[in-house]
Amino acid sequence: MATFTGFSQVIFGYPNDEALPGHPLHDPTDGWEYGFYEVQGSPWPGRLAAENRVAFPDQTASGSQRHFLVVCHEDLVEVLSDDVTVELFDEPFEEVAMRALRLNMGAHG
């Protein structure tokens, strides 16, 4: 289970496997395996800060947020967050999913 803290944006869904080579971070010489990655030197935090300066010109962004990429079968997840914690479980998926739901409801309920 991956828990992202202090996230600013999440992109989920597209592109699917067939369209993955069209993603701007895709490297045609290397390809992508399904997995969990951190994008080093990502322009995303700077782009988000520039967009926010339009409405909040005096606000300065720290630029310390991290860009995570999760490549799954038919889906892609991108997260811009302060940090991530990954926990492994020896339980069925349904039990881990319910645990995550209870944790989330406790934090926001």
**What pLDDT score does 108 carry?**
58
Average pLDDT (57-61) is 72
The number of domains in the chain is 1
**Is the pLDDT assigned to residue 33 strictly greater than 90?**
no
**What pLDDT score does 75 carry?**
85
User: How many Å from the N-terminal Cα to the C-terminal Cα in the chain?
Assistant: 20
What values do phi and psi take at 103, rounded to 5? -60, -45
Q: pLDDT-derived band of residue 66, with 50, 70 and 90 as boundaries? A: very high
Range of the domain at 56: 2-108
- Alpha-carbon span 88 to 109, nearest angstrom: 25
| C-alpha distances out from residue 12 to 31, 70, 72, Å | 20, 9, 11
**pTM for the model:** 0.78
